[in-house]
Structure 1
C-alpha cells in the first residue's frame, strides 16, 4: 500500500490545479449525471420516522438488483442472494470475511487492481499472484492452477479488467471452472471464485459479457454503481451469491450476510443511496462519448508508436511505456503538467494507465505532450 499512498500524496493537489491534465484515477471531470442528483433528491425527504434509521440491505434495493442480474446474466437470482454494500470495496471485504479464515491464501490477478493486496493483508489473508498473459493480458488458466495450494480459499477474477480493459469470454470461465473443481477435490476444501465486476456495464463495440457465475456454481459477484454512474464518492454496491450454489450452502451463506456485514464495520450503503437504487439501476455514463474518447487517445498513441492494449471495457487505456521505463515516462509528462498512472502500482514497472474520464478537451490538449515525450524516450532508448 506504500506505493499507492505515495502516489496519492503526489497528486493530491491536482483537483485545485486548473492547468493540470489529470488522467490518473477514474474520477469525474464534469458535473454529475442529472439523473443521479434527481434520484437522490427524490429520496431525501423522510416518509417515516425510521427513514434515516440504521439500514442493512433494503428489500426494495435487493429486489431491483436481483431483477437486473436476472436480465443481464440469465440466472435466477433472488433478493435474498443480494447483500447491499458500501461500493465494491464493501462487497469485496464481505466476500473475504465470508469465505476465508486468517492465514488462508487468495489468488489475485497481476496486473490487477492495486487494492486487492492491502485489503487481504489487513484481513490477515495472504495474497498469491497469478500473472495474466504478458502479451494479450488474457486470463492465464495455467498460472492460476499453479498458484493454488492447500491453503487457497478464494480466487479473484476481474472482467472487464482494470487496468487492461480486457473482457474474458465464457470459454475462459469454463476452463477455469474445471481447474477449480479439480483443485477443490485434490485439496479437500471448496475454492470460491470472487468475480469482481464493477465495470460490467462499461463495454465497447458490442462486446458480450459472460460472468463466471454461470460456469462455476461456487461464485459470488461484487459490483459498484460508482463506475457506471461515474460517482465513486457515492458508495453503493452489492455482493451477489450465484443462484447455482447448492440450496443448503446458499441458505447458510444468506444467513451469514447480515452478521458479517455488521462485523466488517457496518458495510451497508446509506439509506438514501439504497432508496435510490430503482432509479439508479437504469442510469449510465454516455458510452458513445466514452468510446470517442477511447478512440481519440488510443489512435493518437498507436500512431505515435506506443504499444497500447485496445480496451474492450472499463474507462482505461493500458500501454507499454516508450523507452521501457514507466517512471521516466510519467516524470517527463508531469514536467509538462500531464499526469498518468505508473504501472508500478500494478507491479508492472514498464507500463502505464490512462483514465478516459477526463474531458475531450483535456485529451486533445494532452495528446501533443504524450506524442512528443514518446518520441523523445524512444529516440533515447538503448538499441
Structure 2
C-alpha cells in the first residue's frame, strides 16, 4: 500500500507507476518481487521507511538486499527514499536510511510529520556525496522547485529552519496511545498491525467492504481512513495524533461497531 499521492505525481510527469505487492500483516520488504519487476524501462524505485500506512521500519538486511538488487541492474536506477517519519520510532528502534546502502539515492524528508503539522510543506531532498551527477541534479531540483512556486518555502519558514530541526512531537505519548489502542482492539477481537514507527495503526476490517465498516464507525463518531484509499482493501488506518481523551472516547465506539457486525452475521 502506497501513500496515495505517489501514483498521481508519477503519472502527471509522464511516467508509469509499477506496483509491487507488499503483503499484510508482516509487510516484509518484497525484494525478490522488486527485482522481478525491474525492466530496461525502470528509472526509479520509491521506498518509504518507516512505512505509511503499515508502520514497518525496514531492517539493515532488507535494505542491503534491495541495494544488491539495484547494483545488479544492467542500467542506472535511482532510489527515492521517503523518510518522512524517520524520527517517529517506537520501542527504542533506530532508523536505517536506505541511502547508506546505495549511491544513486535521494533522501526525502518533511518536518510536517515530526511536528504533526502536515499542512506546512517544508522539508528537504538530500543526496550522498557519492551520487553521480550530483551537481547537475542539485541544479535541476532547484529549478523545479522555483518553477512550481508552492514547493518553495516562504521567508518565515526558512527563518524557522534552525528551530524546526530541534523540535519534535512527543514520541513517548504516541507510543503510549499505540499500546493503548492496539491492546484494546486486540482484546475486542480486531486484528491489528502493531506499528514500529509512524503515527498510524492498521486494523483489518471485520467487513469485506472496508468503506462500509468505516461508515459504521463514523456513526459512532469514530473517524478512520478506509484501506481502499491506499490500495489495501479490507483494512483501515487509525491516526494516533488525537489526544488521550479522544482515544478513550473512541474505544467504546469500536466495540459497538464490531458487535453490530457480529450480530448481523448471526442473523
Residue 276 of structure 1 pairs with residue 160 of structure 2: yes
Q: What is the count of residue pairs matched by the alignment?
A: 266
C-alpha spacing 1:135/1:232, structure 2 compared with 1 (3 Å): closer
Q: TM-score, normalised by structure 2?
A: 0.95
Residue aligning to 2:81: 195
Q: Is the 8 A contact 2:177 2:247 kept in 1?
A: yes
Q: TM-score, normalised by structure 1?
A: 0.67
Residue 210 of structure 1 pairs with residue 210 of structure 2: no
Structure 1 residues 1-383: aligned runs within 5 Å:
111-183=1-73, 185=74, 189-246=75-132, 249-265=133-149, 267-381=151-265
- For residues 215-265 of structure 1, the C-alpha deviation after alignment (integer angstroms, 9 at most, x for no partner) is 01111111110111111222211111122324xx22222232322222344
Work out the CA distance in 2 between the residues paired with 1:213 and 1:380.
50
- For residues 119-171 of structure 1, the C-alpha deviation after alignment (integer angstroms, 9 at most, x for no partner) is 11222221110111333011111121122222111100000000001100111
C-alpha spacing 1:232/1:273, structure 2 compared with 1 (3 Å): same
- For residues 63-104 of structure 1, the C-alpha deviation after alignment (integer angstroms, 9 at most, x for no partner) is xxxxxxxxxxxxxxxxxxxxxxxxxxxxxxxxxxxxxxxxxx
Residue aligned with 1:254, SS:
helix
Give ranges in structure 2 of 5+ residues lacking alignment. none
Work out the CA distance in 1 between the residues paired with 2:265 and 2:29.
31
Residue aligned with 1:127, SS:
coil
Q: Is the 8 A contact 1:199 1:227 kept in 2?
A: yes
Q: Which moved more, 1:201-210 or 1:316-325?
A: 316-325
Work out the CA distance in 2 between the residues paired with 1:155 and 1:162.
16
Work out the CA distance in 1 between the residues paired with 2:82 and 2:19.
16
| Offset of residue 266 of structure 1 | 5.7
Q: Which moved more, 1:267-276 or 1:161-170?
A: 267-276
Q: Is the 8 A contact 2:25 2:193 kept in 1?
A: no
Give ranges in structure 1 of 5+ residues lacking alignment. 1-110
Computing the radius of gyration from Cα coordinates, the structure with the larger value is 1
Residue aligned with 2:55, SS:
coil
Residue aligned with 2:256, SS:
helix
- For residues 174-227 of structure 1, the C-alpha deviation after alignment (integer angstroms, 9 at most, x for no partner) is 1001111222x1xxx311000001100011111121011000111111111011
Q: Is the 8 A contact 1:214 1:244 kept in 2?
A: no
Q: Is the 8 A contact 2:121 2:151 kept in 1?
A: no
